C-alpha cells in the first residue's frame, strides 16, 4: 500500500510541475482554441442556413468535419512524426488563424457563400489532422509517464468546460455584436494558441528518432503506423471496439433531437436538458478519470465504462420519461469521458515514441470512419422501426465493442 501511495504522490507532483511549465501552456492553448471553435461551430450552421435552403448543402458542412480525417488522417500522422511537433502545431494554428480572419472579413463584407463556407470547413479539418496527431505525440514529452492519465483528463475536461459551458452560451452575444464576430474571435484564439505553443521552446523534448532508411517514403511511414497498431493486440482490439462504439454514437447523435422531441415528447427544453446534463457528466468523468484508472487498472476501467454506457443506452431506448433520459445521458457522458481519457493514455504509453503520430493517426482514421456510417444507419433505422431504436442499436454495437475488447485484455496492460 505504501508503494501505491508513493506512486500516486509522484504522479501528482509530476503534473503540478508540468502545469507550471510546458503542460500549462499546452493546456492553455487547447482551452483557448476550444473556446473559439465553440463560437465558430455554433455559428456556422446558422450562417449556412442563411446562405442556402438546400438540406444537402447544409449537411455537407458537417460532412466536411469528417471527410478530411478519412482522406488525410494517415498523412497527418506521418508528417507529425517527421517534423518538430511543436513547430507543426503553432504553424498550423497560425494558418488556421489567417484563414478564419479572412473568412470573418468576407462575412463582414457580405461576400460569404456556401461554397466558401464548405471550403473553409474542409481546410480547417484538413489542418486539424496534422495538429491533433502532433499534439497527441507531443504530450508525453511534456509530462512524466506516470502523469499522462491526469494530463489527458485535464486537457479534455478543460476543453469540455470551455466549449460547452463558456463558448456555446456566448454565441448569441457574439452574433448580437455582429455576424462576423464569432469567426473573428476564433481567429484570435487560434493565434493566441499558436503563441502559447511556440513559447514551449525547450520545455518539449522531441523523442529520439532513428535515422530513416534510404528510400523511406510517406506511404511507407503510414503503412508502418498501421502495422504497429495491427500488431499490438491490445491497441488493435481497442481500435476495433472504439470504431463499433462510434458507429453507435453516430446513430444516436444524428437522431437524438428526434428521440427527445418526438419519442419522448419533451420539446426543445427537454433536448437542452439532455445535452446540458451530458456535458456535466463529461466534466465529472474528466475529473475522476485518472483516479478510476489508478484504482481499477486501465483495462477494467474501459470494460466498466462500456457496461455503464450500455446500461445508459438501454434506459434511454426503453424508458419513455424525460428524467430517465436526462440521467442516462449524464451517465453516458461521464463513462464516455473516462473511456476517452483511458484510451488515449493507453495508446500513448504502448506506442513507440517516434511513431506515436502515425499510430494515433491510424487509430483516429479508422475509428472516426464509424461516426458518419452510424449517422446514416441511425436515420434509416429510426425511420423504419421507431425513433427509440437508434439508442437500442447503439447499445448492441457497444456490446459488440466490449466483446471485441476481450482478446486484447489478455495482453499486459501498463
Q: In the prediction, which pLDDT does 98 show? A: 96
Q: Cα dihedral sign for 60, 61, 66, 71? A: positive
Q: What is the mean pLDDT of residues 196-207?
A: 70
Residue recorded with cell 501552456: 25
Domain spans of the chain, in order of start: 2-202, 222-410
Separation CA 252–CA 232 (nearest Å): 30
Q: How confident is the model at residue 207 (pLDDT cuts 50, 70, 90)?
A: low
Model confidence pLDDT, tens digit, residues 161-200: 998 888 888 888 888 899 999 999 999 999 999 999 998 8
Q: In the prediction, which pLDDT does 312 show? A: 97
Instruction: Report the range of poorest mean pLDDT among 297-301, 323-327, 374-378.
Output: 374-378
Is 2-202 a CATH 1.10.10.1200 domain?
A: no
Separation CA 243–CA 366 (nearest Å): 7
Q: What is the mean pLDDT of residues 379-406?
A: 93
Q: In the prediction, which pLDDT does 146 show? A: 82
222-410 has which fold?
Growth Hormone; Chain: A; (1.20.1250)
- Asked if domains 2-202 and 222-410 share a fold, the reply is yes
CA distances 341 to 113, 146, 148, 218, 291, Å, are: 38, 14, 9, 29, 11
Separation CA 309–CA 249 (nearest Å): 11
Amino acid at each position: 500500500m505504501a508503494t501505491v501511495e508513493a506512486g500516486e504522490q509522484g504522479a501528482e507532483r509530476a503534473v503540478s510541475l508540468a502545469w507550471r511549465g510546458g503542460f500549462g501552456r499546452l493546456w492553455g492553448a487547447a482551452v483557448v482554441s476550444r473556446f473559439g471553435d465553440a463560437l465558430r461551430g455554433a455559428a456556422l450552421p446558422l450562417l449556412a442556413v442563411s446562405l442556402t435552403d438546400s438540406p444537402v448543402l447544409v449537411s455537407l458542412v458537417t460532412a466536411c468535419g469528417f471527410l478530411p480525417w478519412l482522406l488525410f488522417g494517415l498523412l497527418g500522422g506521418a508528417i507529425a512524426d517527421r517534423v518538430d511537433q511543436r513547430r507543426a502545431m503553432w504553424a498550423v494554428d497560425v494558418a488556421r488563424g489567417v484563414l478564419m480572419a479572412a473568412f470573418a472579413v468576407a462575412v463582414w463584407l457580405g461576400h460569404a457563400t456556401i461554397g466558401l463556407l464548405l471550403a473553409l470547413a474542409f481546410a480547417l479539418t484538413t489542418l486539424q489532422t496534422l495538429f491533433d496527431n502532433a499534439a497527441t505525440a507531443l504530450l508525453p514529452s511534456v509530462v512524466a509517464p506516470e502523469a499522462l492519465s491526469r494530463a489527458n483528463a485535464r486537457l479534455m475536461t478543460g476543453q469540455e468546460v470551455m466549449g460547452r459551458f463558456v463558448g456555446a452560451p456566448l454565441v448569441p452575444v457574439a452574433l448580437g455584436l455582429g455576424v462576423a464576430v464569432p469567426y473573428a474571435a476564433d481567429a484570435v484564439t487560434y493565434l493566441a494558441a499558436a503563441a502559447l505553443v511556440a513559447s514551449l521552446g525547450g520545455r518539449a523534448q522531441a523523442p529520439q528518432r532513428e535515422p530513416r532508411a534510404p528510400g523511406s517514403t510517406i506511404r511507407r511511414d503510414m503503412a508502418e503506423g498501421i502495422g504497429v497498431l495491427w500488431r499490438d493486440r491490445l491497441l488493435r482490439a481497442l481500435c476495433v471496439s472504439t470504431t463499433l462504439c462510434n458507429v453507435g454514437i453516430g446513430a444516436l447523435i444524428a437522431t437524438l433531437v428526434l428521440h427527445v422531441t418526438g419519442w419522448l415528447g419533451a420539446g426543445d427544453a427537454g433536448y437542452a436538458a439532455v445535452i446540458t446534463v451530458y456535458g456535466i457528466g463529461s466534466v465529472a468523468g474528466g475529473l475522476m478519470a485518472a483516479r478510476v484508472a489508478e484504482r481499477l487498472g486501465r483495462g477494467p476501467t474501459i470494460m466498466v465504462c462500456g457496461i455503464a454506457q450500455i446500461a445508459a443506452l438501454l434506459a434511454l431506448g426503453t424508458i419513455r420519461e424525460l428524467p430517465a433520459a436526462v440521467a442516462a445521458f449524464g451517465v453516458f457522458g461521464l463513462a464516455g469521458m473516462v473511456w476517452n481519457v483511458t484510451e488515449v493514455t493507453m495508446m500513448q504509453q504502448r506506442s513507440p515514441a517516434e511513431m506515436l503520430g502515425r499510430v494515433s493517426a491510424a487509430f483516429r482514421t479508422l475509428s472516426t470512419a464509424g461516426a458518419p456510417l452510424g449517422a446514416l444507419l441511425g436515420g434509416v433505422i429510426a425511420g423504419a422501426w421507431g425513433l427509440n431504436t437508434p439508442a437500442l442499436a447503439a447499445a448492441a454495437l457497444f456490446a459488440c465493442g466490449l466483446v471485441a475488447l476481450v482478446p486484447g485484455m489478455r495482453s499486459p496492460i501498463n
